[in-house]
């Protein structure tokens, strides 16, 4: 997670782009898309947004994956893999962590209001283990999907 002490370069619209990342048109737009999003996004969703924003510019989805890998390596992006799927979602680190309930049918992310581990003590670890972080995703079915297990074909 980024701590806010990283040097940034101010862009034309007042958005700060990290100085420790090579600036390309695609990376700037990926940065904007993720920093403006209120939820995690898949690379395909980011690619579609990028295509809409950069009409006339052609590039491959691999450009998005490479950009996301750079942002993740530098700690600006958190990558999550959906349970039972190969789909990964990416979220901009904003100095705080978030947890989600994820619909197994439509893959909608519903943010939890707070972290259930924020003030909890983990019993059974004793002094043999130091916790440095955690990740929690709850899986089920959203209201729009009927809260039911989908029928198998």
Q: Output the domain CATH number for residue 20.
A: 1.10.10.10
Q: The tokens 């309930």 sit on which residue?
A: 101
More confident residue, 15 or 31: 31
Average pLDDT on 79-106 reads: 79
Domain that holds residue 68: 1-94
pLDDT tens-digit readout, 103-139 = 888 878 787 777 777 666 666 666 777 777 777 778 8
pLDDT tens-digit readout, 38-62 = 888 999 999 999 998 887 788 899 9
Q: Taking a C-beta distance cutoff of 8 angstroms, is the pair 99, 137 a contact?
A: yes
Domain count, the chain: 2
Of 48, 79, 94, which one is at a domain's C-terminal end? Answer: 94
In this prediction the pTM is 0.69
Q: Which has the closest alpha carbon to 48: 29, 76, 28, 74?
A: 29
Of 70, 94, 118, which one is at a domain's C-terminal end? Answer: 94
């Amino acid at each position: 997670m980024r701590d806010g002490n990283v040097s940034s370069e101010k862009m034309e619209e007042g958005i700060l782009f990290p100085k420790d990342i090579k600036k390309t048109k695609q990376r700037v737009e990926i940065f904007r898309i993720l920093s403006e999003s209120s939820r995690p996004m898949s690379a395909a969703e980011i690619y579609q947004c990028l295509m809409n924003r950069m009409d006339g510019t052609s590039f491959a989805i691999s450009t998005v994956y490479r950009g996301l890998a750079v942002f993740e390596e530098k700690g600006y992006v958190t990558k999550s893999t959906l349970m039972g799927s190969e789909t990964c979602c990416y979220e901009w680190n904003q100095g705080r962590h978030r947890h989600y309930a994820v619909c197994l049918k439509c893959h909608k992310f519903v943010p939890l209001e707070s972290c259930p581990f924020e003030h909890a003590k983990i019993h059974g670890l004793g002094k043999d283990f130091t916790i440095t972080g955690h990740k929690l995703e709850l899986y089920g079915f959203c209201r729009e999907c009927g809260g039911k297990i989908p029928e198998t074909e």
